[in-house]
């Protein structure tokens, strides 16, 4: 499944610039809208079943995105309130993000099913979307552990096993 965002615009007042949030981590937290206006998102599942066994691989993909502050700056550049080339000091999702989940099951009998899985199969860390602070000793800009938990896996790899029994 692929979902694509055509546009998402807001305007605080009649005289304020129109802000296009598409391709950003916006709208900002001050609006009532949810954060994360990605250009597109994909959610794909490949599954296979044979006799009593089944197996599925789920792939979730998010593209890179600019931070919400940069979307506001871009709107201000268009209206002349900011100089061209002005950049935000906050982090966006500067790289795309891919998560793979593996799951499966086995029908033991007519009433019993064993299920198992690994979420975040490759233990992919979340993308850092928090504000930039002072550089660490390696020269990298740390994010203070801030991310968009609604989109990025903050728990890391998790494994589960379960049994379903019908009576």
Token pair, residue 72, equals 């506001």
Model pLDDT, residue 160? 97
Longest CA span, the chain: 70
Radius of gyration of the chain (CA): 21
**pTM for the structure as a whole:** 0.75
Q: What's the number of CA atoms in the CB half-sphere (13 Å) around residue 32?
A: 1
- Provide the H-helix boundaries in the chain: 68-79
Report residue 46: phi and psi, to 5°: -105, 125
Token pair, residue 123, equals 């233990």
23, 62 contact by CB (below 8 A) = no
Model pLDDT, residue 136? 46
**Average pLDDT for 134-151:** 59
Q: What is the length of the chain?
A: 167
**Average pLDDT for 130-154:** 62
User: Taking 90 as the threshold, does the pLDDT of residue 56 lie above it?
Assistant: yes
* Residue whose pair of structure tokens reads 């949810």 in the numeric block: 34
80-134 per-position pLDDT tens digit: 777 877 777 666 667 889 999 999 999 998 899 999 999 999 999 888 776 544 4
| pLDDT above 90 coverage of the chain, percent | 36
């Amino acid at each position: 499944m692929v979902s694509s965002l055509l546009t998402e615009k807001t305007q605080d007042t009649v005289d304020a610039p129109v802000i296009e949030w598409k391709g950003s981590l916006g709208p900002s937290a001050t609006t009532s809208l949810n954060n994360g206006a990605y250009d597109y998102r994909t959610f794909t599942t490949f599954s296979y079943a044979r006799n009593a066994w089944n197996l599925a691989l789920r792939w979730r993909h998010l593209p890179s995105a600019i931070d919400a502050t940069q979307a506001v700056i871009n709107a201000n550049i268009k209206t002349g309130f900011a100089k061209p080339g002005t950049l935000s000091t906050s982090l966006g999702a500067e790289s795309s993000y891919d998560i793979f989940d593996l799951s499966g099951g086995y029908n033991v009998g007519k009433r019993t099913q064993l299920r198992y899985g690994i979420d975040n199969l490759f233990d992919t860390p979340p993308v850092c979307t928090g504000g930039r602070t002072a550089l660490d000793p390696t020269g990298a800009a740390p994010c203070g552990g801030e991310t968009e938990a609604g989109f990025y896996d903050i728990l890391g790899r998790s494994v589960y096993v379960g049994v379903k029994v019908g009576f």
